Amino acid sequence: MTPLPHSLLAAISQTELVVTKGRRRQQSLSFATSVVAHLAVFYLLVIMGVFRTPAITNDTSTNEGAVAMIQPTFVTKSARPAQRTQLKPIRSPLSPKLPELSVRIAPIVIETSVAGRDDAIGKAKQERAALSFPTSGGGLRFGASMRPKSKIIGAPPAAARSVGLVIDVSHSMRGNLGKAGLSRIREDVGMIVERLPEGASYNLFAFGMHADAMARRALGVSDSAATEAKDYLSWYHRHDHRTRTAAFPGKRRDGNGRRFVPIQAGDFRSLRGTGGSSRIDLGLAAAFSDRLEYVCLVSDGEPNVRRDGQRLTPEEVLDLIRACARRSYRGGEFPKVDCVDIGGTGEQYLRSIAKAFGGNYTAVENLVAIE
């Protein structure tokens, strides 16, 4: 047999080498494709398990519809309890012994509130809804409710250098405000004092049958002024006595050693011989005696002012208040007096006072619902 030429043998050998390399390349490509396919299936199953979130519900069965309440707002909440989703082990050629994957899904809470307000000025409605994810139980909070706290006492004019806050501390205020409403008043007072500019001054006055002042003359602002103002006011919300003057007759310190200024009708010439309860006139007379530039009056009712056994009319009470202002300011400019009416029962008195002193009247209703 004639042997093949050397060149032909070399060509055949080269062809076999090319075929072998091509086969190996195809095998490698097939293996890589299989690996990618397994990884894709694996991660798809993991993603489907992690994001299998419970359905969002909003329980409004108590009202069978949208929740509508009077401002301040209420909040209705519903949430599915936190679940623990167990994923079965997934085996793949790359991970033959994959441990169990446990995913905790935080409950989702829907906060919904619908607030409404109807007063003598007009009607306004506000609606808002906020979606939040609570942090309890390891859940993540993606967004806050964005629900601002309700304010009872507004900010004083920016130009006012001396501010007086006259607060009704009668028993009825506790019933109309509730604990949360009383707390809100203290926070408002603290915020007002804290935001006073440098060089400004303030004083607090409380009234019932009698009246008290935090100081005889307005106090300058300091780093601790806001805390001191809130602490001073909190005493009235913790005790049955309406004023320190009634609780500690003849004294100028309360049971905690805190100084106060007792105030009675006989201290003012225009009010001598008068008596009664819810003495708005006495609280304002005390504030006027400090010659303040701005006064905010917060009350929930009508004053019961009597002289010689007869109850005075709203016009007669307003005349007494004007007379006290004239004596204190002696022909000077009267202070601006804003009036905040808790519950709307004192509208006639408070509107007339605000008008007489160039202030604003605000009605705040249903404060017991404040959160």
**Six-digit token string for 355:** 């008008």
Q: Quote the pLDDT of residue 330.
A: 92
Q: Quote the pLDDT of residue 315.
A: 94
CB neighbours of 110 closer than 8 A, spacing ≥ 6?
56, 57, 58, 77, 78, 79, 129, 131
Taking the C-alpha atoms of residue 313 and residue 297, their distance in angstroms, rounded to an integer, is 19
Alpha helices in 215-356 (DSSP H): 225-238, 244-247, 280-289, 314-329, 347-356
Q: Quote the pLDDT of residue 16.
A: 63
Domain boundary assignment for the chain: 69-83+104-138, 162-369
Q: At what angle do helices 314-329 and 280-289 cross, to 10 degrees?
A: 10
Q: What is the dihedral of CA 70, 74, 75, 76, to 10 degrees?
A: -80
pLDDT in tens, the chain (371 residues): 555 566 655 666 666 665 566 677 777 777 778 777 878 878 777 777 654 544 444 444 344 443 333 344 333 344 444 444 454 554 544 444 444 444 444 333 333 333 333 333 333 333 333 333 333 333 333 333 333 345 789 899 999 999 999 999 988 888 788 888 888 999 999 999 999 999 999 999 999 999 999 999 999 999 999 999 999 999 988 876 679 999 999 999 998 899 999 999 999 999 999 999 999 999 999 999 999 999 999 998 888 999 999 999 999 999 999 999 999 999 889 999 999 999 878 898 999 999 999 999 999 875 544 44
Q: Quote the pLDDT of residue 258.
A: 93
CB neighbours of 84 closer than 8 A, spacing ≥ 6?
102, 103, 104, 105
Q: Quote the pLDDT of residue 62.
A: 40
Model pTM?
0.60
- Fold of the domain spanning 162-369: Rossmann fold (3.40.50)
Taking the C-alpha atoms of residue 347 and residue 150, their distance in angstroms, rounded to an integer, is 20
| Integer CA distances (angstroms), 119 to 123, 147, 314, 347, 353, in order | 6, 22, 21, 10, 18
Helical (H) or strand (E) element with 25: helix 6-50
Q: Quote the pLDDT of residue 237.
A: 85
Taking the C-alpha atoms of residue 151 and residue 184, their distance in angstroms, rounded to an integer, is 7
Q: Quote the pLDDT of residue 8.
A: 58
In residues, how long is the chain? 371
